[in-house]
Amino acid sequence: MGRTVLIVDDHPEFRSAARALLQAAGFDVVGDAADGSSALEAVSRLQPEIVLLDVQLPDLDGFSVAEQLANGPAPPAVVLTSSRSVVSLRWRLTGNPGWSFIPKNELSAGALAAALG
């Protein structure tokens, strides 16, 4: 299982809480980004093994970012997250079986490890 993580979310409080939670469990959070454009640049620069990616971002949506990452060299594992229910996103998630999803209120190191298989 990969251990380096980039957190992408437009809410600083969530990025901070996710960083603390994942670092406490031994993940190496190598950076964070507040929007899709910054996320793409950070992945190119930092080359994380995992991207924890919010579905709703101010510029590109998380699905668009995930698609671009999947087409890049050495794509990271993408775990999408949202405060919206999985039911409302299911049609988008089924479009790519390589994507995983964790509701924001269920984020834990165990949930991330399980999502990565």
Tens of pLDDT along 20-34? 999 999 999 999 999
- In the sheet that holds 100-103, the strands lie side by side as 28-33, 4-8, 50-54, 77-82, 100-103
Residue 102: its H or E element: strand 100-103
CATH number at residue 54: 3.40.50.2300
Which pLDDT does position 88 carry in this prediction? 60
The pLDDT value given to residue 1: 47
Domain range enclosing 31: 4-116
pLDDT for the residue numbered 95? 60
Q: How many domains does the chain have?
A: 1
**Torsion angle of C-alpha atoms 103, 99, 14, 32, degrees rounded to 10:** 170
Assigned token pair, 2: 């990969």
Are the CB atoms for 100 and 115 separated by under 8 Å?
yes
Q: How far is CA 58 from its chain centroid?
A: 15
**What predicted TM-score, i.e. pTM, was given to this entire model?**
0.90
